């Protein structure tokens, strides 16, 4: 059994792939309460899936309350989710809980990446003056503390590719400092930007991955190996083809087709016929008119800018910047990157079918991120979208986990 710790766990997209490749998750550490609830629900699913999946299905159908559902789950499973903000004040408490959970078990790996907003190229100019007080920038130092304490065989650190060009408060590139801190703990470090769409995820999503292998391990180039697992993704039209047609402000939690027609659909459906969270937002009539124009344009190869829509539909005074306020998915391509901003509105994620004329549902966003349909997200609608937008796609994570498992062959 390969044992790992999941840091800055979010909704569990990264650890899901490792679980599916038979890694043992000692614990997840996550500061957001809604994400922790999602992690608990998924831990419950993995516990019940072999013999008592009907209990999980009863919960998804609303036939039992959450408290009743969790009573069926052993305490040692529920204790795996540690709701902490990782900081100098909490580190000792987190270590203590992890040590209780692992007993005499070795920690073979640490995975996860700190919040990425500080490193994003979006809003960088606005955040320039906050670097000396933005504690998110230096969360990697706590990651190093976990390496010092547990000395795992490997680690995987994930973040936005904006980290490549990010400079700290001293106007020095931060990434070399992060890599040196990892190397100082006796690790050989590899880094590369991976695009999820190259590995079968229906989304162009570029993220920086840093893989570290302890110097006394048998070495291989992780990124050379993972590129043996490339795969052509399904396009959006096919990704959604077993989901019901629906309009703004509708919920339809059933499949329009009972037969998964691709290998990726079989992965998504996961031997279950229960659909949840297929909920479309309410949109006002003005936005719906814009959606029609933008969606029709993109399907014909035209990206409609905000200053090109009819003047009577424009409600924003500033019409010289942010001209891409509205963006539709393309039917015959993969999606552009799903990000947490999807929680604010659906303007950047308009459904490609003009007859449906709406933004994508929670479940459709989750599918684009390659979460199986039985993956249930807890919290408000906004919190669910944030969890999805911040996640590592589980389908990519599976391939990462499979590649890492070769260390132990």
User: Which residues have CB under 8 Å from 55's CB, separation 6+?
Assistant: 48, 64, 69, 72
Q: Checking phi first, is residue 84 left (phi over 0); if not, alpha (psi -120 to 50) or beta?
A: beta
Going by C-alpha positions, the residue among 182, 211, 180 that lies closest to residue 194 is 211
Q: For residue 334, what are the CA distances in angstroms to 74, 195, 209, 239, 370?
A: 40, 12, 21, 9, 12
Orientation angle between helical segments 140-150 and 174-183, nearest 10 degrees? 10
What is the distance between the alpha carbons of residues 379 and 386, in angstroms, rounded to a whole number?
Answer: 10
DSSP one-letter code for 380: -
What is the distance between the alpha carbons of residues 117 and 112, in angstroms, rounded to a whole number?
Answer: 15
| CA angle centred on 157, ends 333 and 7, rounded to 5° | 105
Catalytic residue among 14, 25, 39, 116: 116
| CA angle centred on 75, ends 70 and 79, rounded to 5° | 100
Q: Residue for token digits 């003047």?
A: 311
Examine the residue annotation and report whether 36 is marked as an active-site residue of this protein.
Answer: no
The length of the chain in residues reads: 409
Number of neighbouring beta carbons within 10 Å of residue 12:
31
Q: Are 115 and 8 in contact (CB under 8 A)?
A: yes
Coil vs helix vs strand at 404 = helix
Which residues are identified as catalytic? 116
């Amino acid at each position: 059994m390969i044992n790992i710790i999941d840091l800055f766990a979010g909704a569990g997209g990264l650890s899901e792939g490792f679980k599916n490749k038979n890694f043992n998750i000692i614990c997840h550490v996550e500061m957001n309460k809604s994400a922790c609830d999602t992690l608990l629900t998924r831990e419950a699913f993995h516990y019940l899936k072999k013999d008592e999946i009907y209990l999980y299905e009863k919960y998804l159908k609303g036939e039992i309350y959450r408290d009743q559902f969790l009573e069926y789950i052993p305490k040692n499973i529920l204790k795996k989710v540690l709701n902490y903000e990782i900081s100098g004040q909490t580190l000792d408490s987190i270590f203590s809980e992890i040590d209780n959970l692992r007993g005499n078990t070795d920690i073979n790996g640490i995975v996860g990446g700190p919040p990425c907003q500080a490193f994003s190229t979006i809003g960088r100019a606005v955040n320039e003056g906050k670097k000396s007080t933005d504690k998110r920038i230096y969360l990697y130092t706590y990651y190093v503390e976990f390496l010092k304490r547990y000395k795992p065989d490997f680690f995987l650190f994930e973040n936005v590719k904006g980290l490549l060009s990010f400079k700290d408060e001293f106007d020095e590139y931060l990434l070399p400092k992060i890599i040196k801190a990892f190397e100082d703990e006796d690790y050989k470090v590899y880094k590369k930007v991976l695009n999820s769409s190259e590995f079968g995820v229906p989304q162009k999503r570029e993220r920086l991955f840093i893989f570290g292998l302890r110097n006394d391990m048998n070495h291989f180039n992780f990124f050379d190996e993972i590129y043996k697992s490339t795969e052509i993704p399904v396009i959006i039209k096919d990704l959604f083809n077993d989901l019901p047609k629906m309009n703004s402000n509708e919920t339809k939690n059933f499949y329009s087709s009972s037969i998964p027609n691709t290998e990726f659909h079989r992965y998504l459906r996961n031997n279950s016929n229960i659909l949840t969270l297929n909920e479309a937002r309410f949109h006002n009539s003005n936005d719906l008119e814009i959606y029609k124009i933008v969606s029709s344009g993109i399907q014909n190869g035209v990206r409609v800018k905000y200053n090109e829509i009819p003047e009577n539909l424009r409600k924003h005074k500033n019409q010289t910047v942010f001209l891409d306020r509205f963006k539709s998915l393309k039917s015959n391509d993969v999606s552009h990157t799903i990000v947490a901003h999807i929680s604010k509105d659906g303007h950047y994620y308009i459904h490609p079918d003009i007859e449906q004329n709406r933004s994508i549902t929670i479940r459709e966003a989750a599918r684009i991120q390659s979460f199986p349909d039985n993956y249930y997200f807890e919290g408000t609608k906004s919190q669910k979208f944030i969890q999805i937008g911040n996640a590592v796609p589980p389908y990519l994570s599976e391939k990462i986990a499979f590649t890492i498992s070769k260390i132990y062959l």
